[in-house]
Structure 1
Amino acid sequence: MNPTYKKLDKNNAAVLLVDHQTGLINLVQDYTPNEFKNNVLAIANVAKYFNLPTILTTSFEDGPNGPLVPELKEMFPNTPYVARPGQINAWDNEDFVKAVKATGKKQLIIAGVVTEVCVAFPALSAIEEGFDVFIVTDASGTFNKDTRDGALMRMVQAGAQPLNWFAVACELHRDWRNDIEGLGTLFSNHIPNYRNLMNSYASRSKQAA
């Protein structure tokens, strides 16, 4: 049987940001701290831009994992926020699963720390329950590239699709004509060189007018 292309659909997708905690992010070594923070905030902004249901969750905040990074709290003040008392796999927490299912969406866009545990475990659990899972590779971090590759391989073999945040945004948007300035601004805010493209476009547009 030939594989099918399951496209992200902005009308059927939710975003799960799992365990981006002030303690855990210190374990991320497959991206520099600045790169990783930019990528996490980028996928968060993608979620806001497309008005996707977004769920935040943390594990054992009172322990060394620490609280959720403050930027995400500020960006999503009214979104479901599940502080798990100890469950390592977010899918083992009843409130988290209820929040996911309450979105009514079948496509789950997941990012988190660390990739082979906090991302992989709920991703595999969600796939088992019939969800289509998309992993945001560059907004998920772990100890090193080898660990990341192994985790992604495990998830892909189960049916997950790995994308970076830029690919997520493009697949959700589908057509530049839907909103050139809005998406271009989002990209420019997280990809410095992309601002050159938008400046060039703006210049040409003025000349044409």
Structure 2
Amino acid sequence: MLIRAQDSVLIVIDMQDRLVPAMQAPARTIRNTRTLLCAAAEVGVPVIMTEQYPAGLGATVPELAAVAGGATVLPKMHFSCMEDDGFAAAFRGTARKQAVIAGMEAHICVVQTAASLIEEGFDVFVVSDATASRTLESEQACLARLNASGAGIVTTEMVVFEWLGKAGTPAFKKLLPLIK
């Protein structure tokens, strides 16, 4: 199944000041999430960002906040975003059926959010190169579990090119430098 811009919501989970430095490959994760945010803005995909316990873990990292544009940013305490009433209402309010997820930590908030969305019948795509945990084993376990549960395990480039759909458009020309 293709990831279509008109059907998608980009969910960016807990990429916060005090959490990012502890992750595996934080620079890769932030760079790819930044690309996803720019692509979402260009093709009209709504964005919901979360911050787990922001008083303790800080705000979304500046590199992402700077390109988040009109993203909805929601604080939360639940590990599964869908257990948070504000998030669940914001997500359902988009009336879209596909969730494209990037975030931290893969084996906690990402896996629980994705599992909740799958249980509710949404199509879920987890962006492997924009998702991280403190250990590689935890990250791999998350992706394996979600793959077995029916989530699509995808990369940033897969998402961007599926959202675009074809070459030669103004959006393609604008986003191409982010991929190269």
* Normalised TM-score (structure 1): 0.80
- 1:183 aligns with 172
2:48 corresponding residue in structure 1: 55
1:88-133 Cα distance to aligned partner (Å, 9 max, x none): 2212100000000001100000110111112111000000001000
Paired with 1:160 and 1:148, the residues of 2 have a C-alpha distance of 15
State which structure, 1 or 2, has the greater radius of gyration over its C-alpha atoms.
Answer: 1
Q: AA paired with 1:186?
A: L
TM-score of the pair, normalised by structure 2: 0.92
The one of 12, 31, 41 equivalent to 1:17 is 12
* Equivalent-residue separation in structure 2 for 1:120 and 1:129 (angstroms): 14
Are 1:34 and 2:27 counterparts? yes
| Structure 2 partner of 1:141 | 132
What is the distance in 1 between the residues matched to 2:136 and 2:176? 25
1:136, distance to aligned residue in structure 2 (A): 0.9
What are the Cα deviations for residues 138-186 of structure 1, in whole angstroms up to 9, with x where unaligned?
1111123322111101111111001111110111222214x1x542442
Aligned to 1:207: none
Q: Which runs of 5+ in 2 are unaligned?
A: none
**Paired residue secondary structure (1:91):** helix
Q: Distance in 1 between matches of 2:9 and 2:20?
A: 23
What is the percentage of aligned positions where both structures have the same residue? 26
Q: Which residue of 1 aligns with 2:110?
A: 119
* SS of residue matched to 1:110: strand
Aligned counterpart, 1:164: 155
- 1:109 counterpart (67, 90, 100): 100
Where is the strand percentage greater, Structure 1 or Structure 2? 2
RMSD: 1.6
Q: How many matched pairs?
A: 180
